[in-house]
Amino acid sequence: MSNHVNIVEVGPRDGLQNEKQSIDVATKVELIEELADAGLKSVEAGAFVSPKWVPQMAASDEVLAKIKRKEGVSYPVLTPNIKGYEGARSGKADTIAIFGAASESFSKKNINATIEESLERFKPVVEAAKADGVRVRGYVSCVLGCPYEGKIPLENVVRVSKALYDMGAYEISLGDTIGVGTPGEARAMIRAVAGEVPVAALAGHFHDTYGQALANIYASLEEGVRSFDSSVSGLGGCPYAPGASGNVATEDVVYMLHGSGFETGADLDALVRTSVWISERLGRHPASKVTRAKTAATIQKM
């Protein structure tokens, strides 16, 4: 089985979408460019969602227009509906992400649609993207728990994942939106979904609220998953999942993978520098343990 692991950096979108302070376009552009320069091949650049719902993503069109795109790097953006797709298309997005949920309550809170309504809404988006040669990624939220409903039946996760895959998404990112899952649960969930969607088309998207994200990634690796979402410095949270921590930190994932014989193409030292810079810019300490360790004077030589 391949030792290459694809990292989808979601810091500039999942990481920043929940920030209350204003972050200017120049900072977002610099963050995206630095992450691509650090060797990441997929850097989520924004979301074409309602600015009333998620104000922090309002300038995603400007961000897309300003980033210097690197050859071989994709810059996905979220598109909940055809209006979002049109914005992404005029911004020359190479990849879009449709985002559904395995929980009815989360779906209503996040995109104001039932699961069935959301799937209907995604169909024309995927059709338009196919016609335009734009790649489509699919997200399923709340795969290991929902902030409103608690445990979610695995069959819901399987059903929504299969629906997005059958619609034409090249990869299904399975989101532990509130970071409650454990490795045993992650393993069972991946096995269930892999019964209907090829494991090569699955990605893990783990938030670290309960400190389980790296262990969940390792369990998913053992099940054959080779694509993971993470956010530099562990930035983030979800506006519709109160209390959820950020995504697992990219530096921590890369450190674990490289130390375990996997390759990612990412430059860990460059990621650590970016992590320190964006954390300073946001006025906080990096959530990444690797960045903290590598910048602590006593152990940085290791």
- State both tokens at 299: 């152990």
Shortest distance in whole angstroms from residue 71 CB to ligand HMG: 26
Q: How far is the CB of 140 from ligand HMG (least distance, A)?
A: 7
Considering CB under 5 A, how many residues would be counted as binding Mg ion? 1
- Taken in order 168, 111, 29, 37, is the CA torsion positive or negative? negative
Token pair of 238 as six digits? 């979800």
- Our CB check for Mg ion shows the closer of 14 and 104 to be 14
Between CA 186 and CA 213 the distance in angstroms is 10
User: What token pair was written down for 247?
Assistant: 């995504």
208 belongs to the binding site for Mg ion (CB under 5 A):
no
Q: With CB cut-offs between 5 and 8 Å by kind, which of ligand HMG, Mg ion, none does residue 49 bind?
A: ligand HMG
Q: 159, 193 in Cβ contact below 8 A? A: no
To the query of whether residue 146 is one of the catalytic residues in this protein, the response is no
Q: Which is nearer to ligand HMG, 170 or 300 (CB)?
A: 170
The closest residue (CB) to ligand HMG is 175
- The per-type count for the chain, helices as H runs and strands as E runs, is 11, 9
Q: Kindly write down the DSSP assignment for every residue of 147-194, as one continuous string.
A: TTTBS--HHHHHHHHHHHHHHT-SEEEEEETTS---HHHHHHHHHHHH
Catalytic residue of the set 238, 244, 254, 268: 238
- Cβ nearer to Mg ion, comparing 104 with 176: 176
- Backbone φ, ψ for residue 102 (5° rounding): -90, -5
Nearer to ligand HMG, 228 or 240 (CB): 240
Ordered alpha helix ranges (H), the chain: 25-37, 60-66, 82-90, 104-111, 115-132, 154-167, 183-194, 213-222, 250-259, 268-282, 289-295
For residue 168, what are its two tokens?
A: 């034409």
Query: CA 196, CA 4: separation in Å to the nearest integer?
Result: 23
The reply to whether 112 sits near ligand HMG by the rule CB under 6 A is yes
From the list Mg ion, ligand HMG, none, partner contacted by residue 106 (C-beta under 5 to 8 A by kind) = none
Binding mask 13-52 for Mg ion (x = CB under 5 A): -x--------------------------------------
Contact between 238 and ligand HMG (CB under 6 A)? yes
Span of 11-19, 64-72, 85-93, 184-192 interacting with Mg ion by CB under 5 A: 11-19
Among 7, 43, 63, 99, binds ligand HMG (CB under 6 A): 99
Interface positions, 249-278, toward ligand HMG (CB under 6 A): none
* Angle at CA of residue 128, ends 125 and 133, nearest 5°: 120
The structure tokens listed for 275 are 């992590």
Q: Smallest gap, in angstroms, from Cβ of residue 132 to Mg ion?
A: 26
3-class SS of residue 106: helix
Applying CB under 6 A, does 165 fall inside the site for ligand HMG? Answer: no
Q: Binding ligand HMG by CB under 6 A: which of 111, 164, 254, 256?
A: 111
Question: Based on CB atoms, which residue is closest to Mg ion, 35 or 128?
Answer: 35
Active site residues per annotation: 238
- Residue numbers at the binding site for Mg ion (CB under 5 A): 14
- Residue numbers at the binding site for ligand HMG (CB under 6 A): 14, 17, 47-50, 53-54, 78, 80-81, 83-84, 99, 110-112, 139, 141, 175, 177, 205, 238-240
